[in-house]
Structure 1
């Protein structure tokens, strides 16, 4: 008889740990369900029939040299919980791989809905969609206003040389999965390196900030910012550039890459940038560079997915169409940089 639980999480073993570490938290047998939509680390909901919690762990078969990944996520969420940034409360970090086969942490389940596509936003209507996206900007301003030292995150990253390291990191990622000609990708990489801006004072950066990484309640208020696996200390405008990129229509109907930019009422990128500048007080003249970098970064990520697909290591709907999107992202990046140079 097969185990009645999702791969990667044994509810009985988890309950045993919680009974030892958080006695009284769980009132009965646990059941678990994998939350779909995660791109890297796995997320599960767990319930005893009364209370509900969320568990995060690395992908199955992923061997970590240390528990660094889970520890970092748990650390940043715990540090931000007392601030104005909405994050779940954390309950437990377990670095003993004997329990679930990998390090993991447990946090409170926060009520709310993730919106990943324009179709999912459509029932909200234009006005509510607009309010939700503008709230996304306001929450980003709150995140970037947090003093890292005040919340114990002053050693959470190495902000000196941040942009140069990021550019080199994603270039290496590209080299690791490059097996076809990608016109314009080297031109984009070179131009980004040649026009590297001077970073403002470092902040906590999310690293993957967009609408489908937050939860919204019935009043379109953000109840939680999720998926902190790429967070660090660095240049806050990288978060803004990524948000602008995700707020730009791709012009590719039926794209397997989720985007909400086509939703009726979605604010234009220029309005998002202006709102961020007004509310944060930061200079955003170089935002086009950060947006072009976001296009480059996503092109590299998509090319990696395409590469794994061609090797038969990635299966599922939509993966066969990822490869055709990469040139679209490259062209958007080049166009963004040209507009910056011509402006």
Structure 2
């Protein structure tokens, strides 16, 4: 890939736009490269030899505009920047598709490491790993303490009936990718529907809050929360449940879905919930429901990937084992709900 012509990023047109909208921001010639790791929207690192910025745009050939709403991402990050939630400073939103072929935004570059696997965390040692993950919980508490109306996000979502809509949405997603029998998944969905907890006061929900969606500094502090494409107003405990799910060891060496839970020192889901409850003052008595719901969501997502794989519609390697993970996620969901 040429640094002068990364797919989906026309550096000449980007430079013209920056010179017009943010004169003096860029000095020397621009270079750019795709940042690996994103699963949906594309993220590029752009520099002029002195400063660096990040450009975020939808995937190439995107179809569903609502799933890749750059203006929405730009809005929530811009609104949260003055708060205690660490997010990059936004610099520019461009909704003119003539520039890069799709809407995009530019934000400041933040130094930090996204830890995606237990092996990446291991060199930190058990104590630093524990502190880092607990800092992640504290950042989640800070996010959920933000008053949506006070930062201009009062209309950012529809919190009434949030959990019911979420359950319907994921059932619909599952029906769209049913290519085989999945014992237990209808039982899990039904049990979640029957035991729906009352939601606390609505908050800004990240929607995919986990360690590899944040940048961690050398001191273990969260430098920036990234990937806001699923953010909305809703039940804050859905974020906690997802974090708890990702903090549960899968017990599958070589799993194609990487988690950090097996890293020495990584706090348990119960420890994360206790930290969240103590720092936020919220009742987390129903955290097992939210964690089981997270297992369901990931099972549906993985089954969708497996279904596309069976149809020959996936690109790259590592998809052949996704299907065997789905029953594991279903079983974890059922067990979590029963234990709760």
Q: Identify the TM-score tier after normalising by the shorter chain.
A: over 0.9
Greater mean alpha carbon deviation, residues 123-132 or residues 306-315:
306-315
Q: Distance in 2 between matches of 1:284 and 1:248?
A: 17
Once the two structures are superposed, residues 95-145 of structure 1 have per-residue CA deviations (whole angstroms, 9 ceiling, x without a partner) of 000100000000000010110000000111101100100000000000000
Q: Deviations over 1:136-158 (max 9, x none)?
A: 00000000000000000000000
TM-score between both structures, scaled by the size of structure 1? 0.97
Q: Cα 1:277–1:136, aligned 2, differ >3 Å: closer, same or farther?
A: same
- The 8 Å contact of residues 67 and 95 in structure 1, kept in 2 or not, is answered as no
Alignment partner of 1:126 is 2:126: yes
**8 A contact 1:178–1:307 mirrored in 2:** yes
Residue 312 (structure 2) aligns with: 312
The 3 A distance-change label for structure 1 pair 219 and 150 is: same
SS in 2 for 1:177: coil
* Cα pair 1:12 1:29 within 8 Å, conserved: no
Aligned to 2:148: 148
Aligned residue for 2:165?
165
Q: May I ask how many residue pairs the two structures share in their alignment?
A: 340
- Report deviation, 1:317: 2.5
Secondary structure class of the residue paired with 2:239 = helix
Task: Write the distance in 1 (CA, Å) between the matches of 2:273 and 2:68.
Answer: 33
Structure 1 contact 34–42 (Cα < 8 Å) conserved: yes
| 1:270-319 deviation line (CA, Å, top 9, x unaligned) | 11100100000000100000000000000000111111111111122211
Please state whether the residue corresponding to 2:33 is helix, strand or coil: strand
Contact 2:93-2:106 at 8 Å conserved across structures:
yes
Q: Which residues in structure 2 correspond to 1:83-94 (within 5 Å)?
A: 83-94=83-94
Distance, in Å, in 2 between the alignment partners of 1:227 and 1:2 is 25
Partner of 1:16: 16
Query: What TM-score comes out, normalization by structure 2 length?
Result: 0.98
SS in 2 for 1:107: strand
RMSD in angstroms over aligned alpha carbons? 1.4
> Aligned to 2:53, what secondary structure does the other structure show?
strand
Q: Contact 2:58/2:68 (CA < 8 Å) preserved in 1?
A: no
Partner in structure 2 of residue 255 of structure 1: 255
Q: Specify the alignment match of 1:213 in structure 2.
A: 213
Cα shift at 1:219: 0.6
Structure 1 residues 102-111 or 57-66, which shifts more?
Answer: 57-66
Distance across 2 between alignment mates of 1:242 and 1:34? 27
Q: Which residue of 1 aligns with 2:108?
A: 108
Shift of 1:45: 0.4
* Unaligned 5+ runs, structure 1: none
2:318, 2:299 → 1: CA distance? 16
Q: Determine the structure 2 residue equivalent to 1:180.
A: 180
CA distance in 2, matches of 1:168, 1:67: 17
* Cα 1:28–1:138 shift into 2, 3 Å: same
